[in-house]
Homo-oligomer: A and B are copies of this chain.
Amino acid sequence: MLQKPEAAELKVIAFDVFGTVVDWHGGIAAEAERMVPGVDGSAFALAWRAGYQPAMRGVMQRIAEGEGGFTLLDELHRSILETVLRDFSITHLDAAQKRELNCAWHRLPAWPDAVAGLTRLKSKYIICSLSNGNIGLLTEMAKNAGLPWDCVLSAEVFKAYKPDPRTYLGVAAVFDTTPGQVMLAAAHHDDLAAARACGLRTGYIERPHEFGPGQSKDVSPQPDNTLHARDIGALADLLGC
């Protein structure tokens, strides 16, 4: 079934969202500083995000052991938030305020190039999200930030989390294409590697300041990716949109 990427016409571009399309660091830092005056917003954002991978591994292990079910990212974020608040000695938020802060993930700002780049790509391809975020979170984020998805796809649709092959292959199944007719665009090489192993094309998006303007990450090209783009506008350039 798998085809070489160049053998089939590209039809769908699925985007990782957190870090790739929206600026979680900037968005969470700003909302934390708004709701908790005096807090180090950047440190708060980094701590909250750092809790994600261990929490996700915990969920996947519980599912594998038959002791847990699919869990929405909103619920994981809410659980991690309790730990972060404790670590930062923030004790004055009531339940409604914690809920409001947790919904900061629904209001993350798009990177400056994202809306225009996605709009260009949408003229030629089906564009969708492919995120471990839940559908409601991703939909409200798109509405707030103006992300012009043709369709919100999520781990919640496939009842499996990236990097599970069911997510990448699920996109191809939804649109009745071969895996090679789908490209995953992401700012994370591990996500792209897992998609590539399923036969998808891959587009790396540089986001050197994903972890904050004062930090940087290695965004050098890796030869296994089909495309390497500075941002989503550059991806549209490369794809002739």
Q: Which of A49-57, A113-121, A149-157 participates in binding chain B?
A: A149-157
Inter-chain CA distance A143–B143, complex, in Å, is: 17
Q: Verify if A139 is at the interface (C-beta below 8 Å from B).
A: yes
Q: Verify if A212 is at the interface (C-beta below 8 Å from B).
A: no
Set B138, B156, B157: member contacting A135, Cβ < 8 A: B157
Q: Interface SS of chain A: helix, strand, loop or mixed?
A: helix
Given A157-B157, A174-B135, verify A126-B150 contact (CB < 8 Å): no
The answer to whether B157 and A150 touch across the interface, beta carbons within 8 angstroms, is no
Question: Nearest Cβ distance between residue A17 and chain B, in whole angstroms?
Answer: 14
Tell me the nearest residue of chain B to A99, going by C-beta.
Answer: B176
Inter-chain CA distance A135–B176, complex, in Å, is: 10
- Chain A 126-168 against B: per-residue CB contact (8 Å), 1 yes, 0 no? 1010000011101110110000001111001100000000000
Measured between beta carbons, the chain B residues less than 8 angstroms from A175 are 136, 139-140
Q: Verify if A191 is at the interface (C-beta below 8 Å from B).
A: no
Copies in the complex: 2
Set B136, B150, B153, B174: member contacting A174, Cβ < 8 A: B136
Q: What are 24 residue pairs bridging A and B, where the CB atoms are less than 8 Å apart in the complex?
A: A74-B176, A126-B139, A126-B140, A126-B143, A128-B139, A134-B174, A135-B151, A135-B157, A136-B174, A136-B175, A136-B176, A138-B151, A139-B150, A139-B151, A139-B174, A139-B175, A140-B175, A142-B150, A142-B151, A143-B150, A151-B152, A152-B152, A156-B157, A157-B157
Residue ranges of A at the interface with B (Cβ–Cβ < 8 Å)? 74, 126, 128, 134-136, 138-140, 142-143, 150-153, 156-157, 174-176
8 more contacts with CB within 8 A, not counting A139-B174, A140-B175, A152-B152, are: A74-B176, A134-B174, A136-B176, A138-B151, A139-B150, A139-B175, A143-B150, A151-B152
